[in-house]
Amino acid sequence: MVVLAKSVRMILDERDRKILALLQADAGVPVAEIAERVSLSLSACARRIQRLEESGHIIRRVAVLDRDKIGVPTTVFALIKTAHHSDEWIELFRKAISGIAEIVEAHRLTGNYDYILKIVLPRVEHYDVIYKEIVRKVELFDVSASISMEVLKSGSALPVDYAR
């Protein structure tokens, strides 16, 4: 895993974008294979990958796990309304959810709801455990949960065409 705080400014070309796309598809692909696919020497490709890490374009490399085999096939989306909008409440809420491994994403929203949580669970009944853990730590106005019936599209790969 690579995590770098220092950000170096660099301009990306088509080869850099292709390297980023290849690494997003499979971060474990050997550098030699990437080099061949982008028509670079092994050392030139390795230097480009290192520059992409140093510039912050690559934040870290991770393994994507099979949710069924890991035992969390169920997804619940919790939509949350709160009567509190202070910086202190937001920080309390952030701390309350940050320690709950089943909450894999949390977003602050515009519109009718204030937050949405993506929660992965072994079964839908486990949602009540997570709900109770949250409300013990922070006051909420309203929570509405929806169970995902089918995944139509999933992934973490970003479009690289916009990268500068």
Are residues 112 and 85 part of one domain? yes
Q: How confident is the model at residue 1 (pLDDT cuts 50, 70, 90)?
A: very low
What is the mean predicted confidence (pLDDT) over 9-33?
93
| Average pLDDT of the chain, as a whole number | 93
Are residues 52 and 78 part of one domain? no
pLDDT at residue 15 in the model? 96
Are residues 40 and 107 part of one domain? no
Count of domains forming the chain: 2
The domain boundary, picked from 37, 64, 91, lies at 64
pLDDT at residue 9 in the model? 66
Smallest CA-to-CA distance from 60 within 99, 5, 10, 119 is with 5
14-25 confidence digits (pLDDT tens): 999 999 999 999
141 phi, psi to nearest 5 deg: -85, -45
Are residues 44 and 13 part of one domain? yes
Are residues 27 and 3 part of one domain? yes
pLDDT at residue 4 in the model? 44
pLDDT at residue 2 in the model? 47
Q: What is the pTM of this model?
A: 0.85
Are residues 101 and 47 part of one domain? no
Task: With a cut of 90, say whether residue 8 has pLDDT above it.
Answer: no
Are residues 42 and 12 part of one domain? yes
> Which residues make Cβ contacts (< 8 Å) with residue 1, sequence separation at least 6?
60, 61, 62
Task: With a cut of 70, say whether residue 3 has pLDDT above it.
Answer: no
- Provide the domain limits for residue 87: 67-147
Burial annotation 5-15 (CB, 10 A radius, 16+ → b, else e):
eeeeeeebeeb
Are residues 128 and 97 part of one domain? yes
- Residue 161 belongs to some domain of the structure: no
Q: What is the sign of the dihedral through the CA atoms of 57, 162, 156 and 132? A: positive
pLDDT at residue 24 in the model? 94
Please provide the DSSP assignment of the chain as one string: -------------HHHHHHHHHHHH-TTS-HHHHHHHTT--HHHHHHHHHHHHHTTS-----PPP-HHHHT--EEEEEEEE-S--SHHHHHHHHHHHHT-TTEEEEEE-SSS-SEEEEEEESSGGGHHHHHHHHHHHS--SEEEEEE----S----PPP-TT--
Q: How confident is the model at residue 53 (pLDDT cuts 50, 70, 90)?
A: very high
